Structures are given as structure tokens and as C-alpha cells.
Structure 1
Amino acid sequence: MSIKTILLHMANDDRHAARLEAAVALAKRFDAFVEVLYVATPVSMPAAATGRAASYGYIAEATAIAHERAEQIEREVRQALAGCSFSWTVEEGDHVALLAERATYADLAIVAQSGAEEGGERIALHVPDRLPLETACPTLVLPPAFKAGMTMGEHVLVAWKNTRESTHAVRNAMPFLQAATKVTVLTIDPPNHRGDSGRDLMVWLERHGVRSHHQANIAHGGDVGDLILTCAADLGADLLVMGAYGHSRLREMVLGGATRTVLAKLHLPALMSH
């Protein structure tokens, strides 16, 4: 699948510039149209704004400020996307619901990692990085550490398990995998596992022109999500591809913990599909 429409989540937050920079780079790389959705409703609020009246008051004030800043941010978007095809829309409401509605018509969505607000000083009102669980559109989640000018997609780490979600993630990531300098397939198996869990995927990838390396790990307890992130750091990967697990109670218990951990502790961009 080629990437021809990118849905970019924008808001009045301190990380919107990094998301915009990533969208610009990918739009130029894939010759894609960028649909910019600016949601004026605040994503979070100060923990001190307790009580219904204080909460409603903060949300109303923050929304008004976001509308005031919309014109300035639109100018930033127009300047950054000069030479690219794009659209600009301003909405109010639930960030995930609004994004999911538009993601149906996109090939890639870009959001920021919500994570836990630093030091517990803020309360999350909306969680944009839940988008991978709400849509079939692959979602690129950018961590707070991602800054303009950082490389993304030179070394791609694929967290692989033969499941529907992982399969969707790999297929959706094909444009990134084919453009990467290095691709590593990471498998995490239980003790006493026999066989090569990554072989069949690596053969399939090679038929699509993607040469890959296998990183086989054995899980001796602990959180699989932590192991994935540790491997990504040790290998120097700059993009993680993985399935996002949720909804099903059984899958959430067996596999969902890894998704939660990765989204909470993410230190590199992650391309996630459900």
C-alpha cells in the first residue's frame, strides 16, 4: 500500500511543531497529501483544576485560547507545507473520535504519545494515541523525545508475532520497510521454544525487496513491552513497527500489556496498527 494521504493531528500543545515537521518530511518522501485536523478542545488540564465548575471553566477558557491561536498555527502549517498539497480544518470535540472519522480516508495518521503527564501535574482529557485501536489506518505515534530533524525509518525494528494485528502492522509499514537502510525482525518467545519464529516473515519480506535481520529473544518473565523498547534502544532503531492490541478481553490480558507499556514509555517513533 502506498502512502498518499496523511492525517495530521494538530492542537494547541507544545509538541505540535514536531508532528508538523514529521508530516512535512513524510509528505515529501511519499508525495502525499496532508489533511491537517486542528482540534481546539484541550487534550489535558492542570491537576489543580478540580471540581466540575473548575474543570468546565478551564476547558472553556483553553478552547477559546486554542481558537485564538488557530490562525497562528495555520500560518506555521502553510509555511511548513509550502510546495505540498494539504487541507486545514478546525474542529471541537473528542480528539480520538474526530481523528478516527477522518482516518478512514487516510493512509497514515500522525499523533503524539499521550503517556502519563509529566510528574502527574496534568490530567489527560483525551488520549490521541488510542487512535490505533479505533481505526484500520496505521498510526505513527511520536514520543516527547522526537524533535525536528531527527531521523526516522533508517533502521526499522519490527516487533513480530504471528497475529492479525502484527500482520496488519507489517503490511501497513511496507513503504517504510522498503525505504529503510536496515530492518530488524524482533521475536520474543517463551522458554523452551523451538523453531525460528521470524523466518517465514523474513522470507516474505525479501520477496517484497526487503532484506532483514533476525533478533531472537526469550522472555524470562517481565513485561514484553519493556523488552521491546530495550531491544530498540540497544539496536539503535529509529522506528518501531508493531501491532496494537486491545478491545478483546483475552487479547488485552495476553498481549495488551505490551501495547500499554510501549505507549507509556515510548522513546522512538512507533508505527502501530490494530
Structure 2
Amino acid sequence: MASTLSIQTTSLSKDSMYKTIVLPLYHRIHTAAEVGAAHLVARSYNSYIEGFFVPHLMQTVVGVGIVAHGAVAIEDDGEAEQLASEARQCWFNLLDDQGIPVGTLGDTSIGVRGHWVKSDQYSERIIGEYARLFDLAIVRRNLDDKGSFWQATAEAVLFESGRPLLLVDNAIPSTLGQNIVIAWNGSTEAGRSITASAPLLEAAEQVTVLSVTDGMVSGPSGADISDHLRVRGIAAHEQTIDRNGGSIGQAILSFAERINADLLIKSAFTHSRLRQLVFGGATREIMQNSTLPVLMCH
């Protein structure tokens, strides 16, 4: 059954599009959530959507927020191959459910299309390296995943690809990018996230540049960013809020929920992952708790 999802569109320049989207997966099977989100984005740009399956994961979880790779290998190749086969069949079933025709990268006459690739490399670097080929990567947050496979995948995209990551929850969103909140803290990473989300910002009905009073680093203010976005024709306005005794991450998520935002744009790990592990941080908290889609860039 074809999806009935919708995304707001405007006239975009050819270099301001998500024409290729990858859904990387470490030793897991895709679900309707990330495929539905990919379709939601792809319909606006006639995009190519690729499921990229890495059958072996080598990792040890050393703490919440940090995943060390290369310590433990899944040794049963037969089991891995069986999972790869099941994942492939599931992928094509999900494409069919969404009404997405099967097509390769070069089949541009088809419009929105999808295909499947199984990695023949088992290095922990392959997901990040492969994602460099694409305009956008999508990963589903899965707190039932005790091995933190989803987190390892997300971090590989963030730290190794140089590409934006769209992190989605278990539910398929009905809209994406009509009412956007930018979590602005003045950082370089926040600036990159705005650039990476340009196609969505240009099509949005409403954009709120949100700053938390004591969550800023040295850099431009939210008001400055709003002014520059409006020059580009983006419907942006600035708002500053207090934490009110809570964390920065909680303040951002509560605000986004209160105004019924359907997308949060957030820089990833302005502070180091080690510091986030020891002291906590907004990135880690949002990755763990956000139920709305989050577009992130490091």
C-alpha cells in the first residue's frame, strides 16, 4: 500500500536537494519507520533510496554515549548470511508497501526508487565511508536494541561521513519539515546543521531558531541567524528560553513538543563524546529521548 505521507515543497535549486538517501543498518533489519521517513523526503526530490546492510558488527559498548569498535566479532557467518537474506527480503517488502518502485541509482527516469546493497566489508568504518556518497542518511532510534547497534550506526554517520543524519523514532511521521525547530547554540556544528538542512528549511512553513539561555557557546546569536535565514526567504523567527531547572536537552524537546514541531535540527556533540559521557549533554539526551525526527550534523 502506498504511503499517504506529505511534505511541504517549494521551488528549490538543483544543488539544494536530497537526491540520494541511504538507510545504513548494522546487523539489523529495517522497519517501516525509517523507510517511511525516507519516502517522505524522497518524494520531494525524486530521490534514490538505498538500504545498506553491514552483516557483521564489531563493537563493545563501554558506556552510554560511547561505543568502541573492533573488540567483539559475530563469528557465525551462516547466521549472518541468513540475517542478510531476511533483511533483503524485508527491505523489498517495505519498498512495495510504500509504493516505491525498485530501481538503481542511474534509473533517474523512474523518479523515486529504491534498491539494496550488502556490504562485503566488515570494518567498523564502512558505514561512515559509504555514507559519504549520499546526500542524507536515515537511522531509526531503537532503545530495545541492547547492543546499541543503532547508536553505533548513527555515530558512524555523524563522525565519519561528513553527511547529515536524520534520526527517526519508531512511528512514521505524517509530516516532516513543515514546522521546524533549530536548536541553535552558536557553534560551528550548529552552522553546519543549518547548511545540511537547507532543502527542508527552504520548504518549511515555520522555522523557530531556539536558543537556551545558558546553552550558548561563542558565536552568532539566534536573532542573527534568523535575520540571515529570512534574507533567503525562510520563514524564521528567534526565541530564547530558560532551562527552568531542567537540562538543555529537556528544554529543547519540551519546547518542540509544545509548538507541535515535526522536525528538530540539532548540532551533534559540540563537546567531545567523552565529556558528554562524563557530564551528560544535550546531544546524547536528545538522541535517547526525542520522539520527533532530528536532523543532526557534526
Q: TM-score w.r.t. structure 1 length? A: 0.79
1:75 correspondence with 2:92:
yes
Alignment-derived partner of residue 47 in structure 1? none
Which among 167, 174, 199 is matched to residue 198 of structure 2? 174
Deviation at 1:33, TM superposition (A): 2.0
Deviations 1:17-47 (A, max 9, x none): 2211221221111222223212334799xxx
Alignment-derived partner of residue 141 in structure 1? 167
Deviation at 1:188, TM superposition (A): 0.7
- Name the CA distance, whole Å, in 2 between partners of 1:95 and 1:141: 23
Alignment-derived partner of residue 292 in structure 2? 268
Distance 1:96 1:60, change over 3 A: same
- Name the CA distance, whole Å, in 2 between partners of 1:155 and 1:272: 16
Deviation at 1:92, TM superposition (A): 6.0
Which among 8, 13, 16 is matched to residue 23 of structure 2? 8
Alignment-derived partner of residue 82 in structure 2? 65
Alignment-derived partner of residue 40 in structure 1? 55
Q: Percent identity?
A: 28
1:23 correspondence with 2:49:
no
Matches within 5 A, 1:89-168: 89-91=117-119, 97-114=125-142, 116-117=143-144, 122-125=146-149, 127-130=152-155, 131-144=157-170, 146-147=171-172, 150-168=174-192
Deviations 1:36-91 (A, max 9, x none): 212334799xxxxxxxxxx9779656524312314422432553421424442112
Which among 276, 279, 282 is matched to residue 258 of structure 1? 282
Question: Over aligned residues, Cα RMSD in angstroms?
Answer: 3.3
Say whether the 8 Å CA contact 1:96–1:128 is kept in structure 2: no
Instruction: Please give the secondary structure, in 1, of the residue aligned with 2:44.
Output: helix
Distance 1:18 1:58, change over 3 A: farther
Alignment-derived partner of residue 248 in structure 2? 224
Which among 99, 116, 127 is matched to residue 88 of structure 1? 116
Q: Which has the higher helix share?
A: 1
Say whether the 8 Å CA contact 2:193–2:265 is kept in structure 1: yes
- Name the CA distance, whole Å, in 2 between partners of 1:189 and 1:255: 19
Deviations 1:127-162 (A, max 9, x none): 222122332100100112x22x52211111100021
- Name the CA distance, whole Å, in 1 between partners of 2:202 and 2:22: 21
Question: In the comparison of the two structures, how many residue pairs are matched?
Answer: 255
Deviation at 1:203, TM superposition (A): 0.9
Say whether the 8 Å CA contact 2:26–2:149 is kept in structure 1: no
Say whether the 8 Å CA contact 1:185–1:215 is kept in structure 2: yes
Point out where structure 2 has 5 or more consecutive residues left out of the alignment: 1-15, 60-71, 102-109
Say whether the 8 Å CA contact 1:43–1:125 is kept in structure 2: no
Distance 1:123 1:34, change over 3 A: closer
Instruction: Please give the secondary structure, in 2, of the residue aligned with 1:30.
Output: coil
- Name the CA distance, whole Å, in 2 between partners of 1:117 and 1:95: 24
Instruction: Please give the secondary structure, in 2, of the residue aligned with 1:236.
Output: coil
Alignment-derived partner of residue 49 in structure 1? none
- Name the CA distance, whole Å, in 1 between partners of 2:73 and 2:124: 20
Q: TM-score w.r.t. structure 2 length? A: 0.73
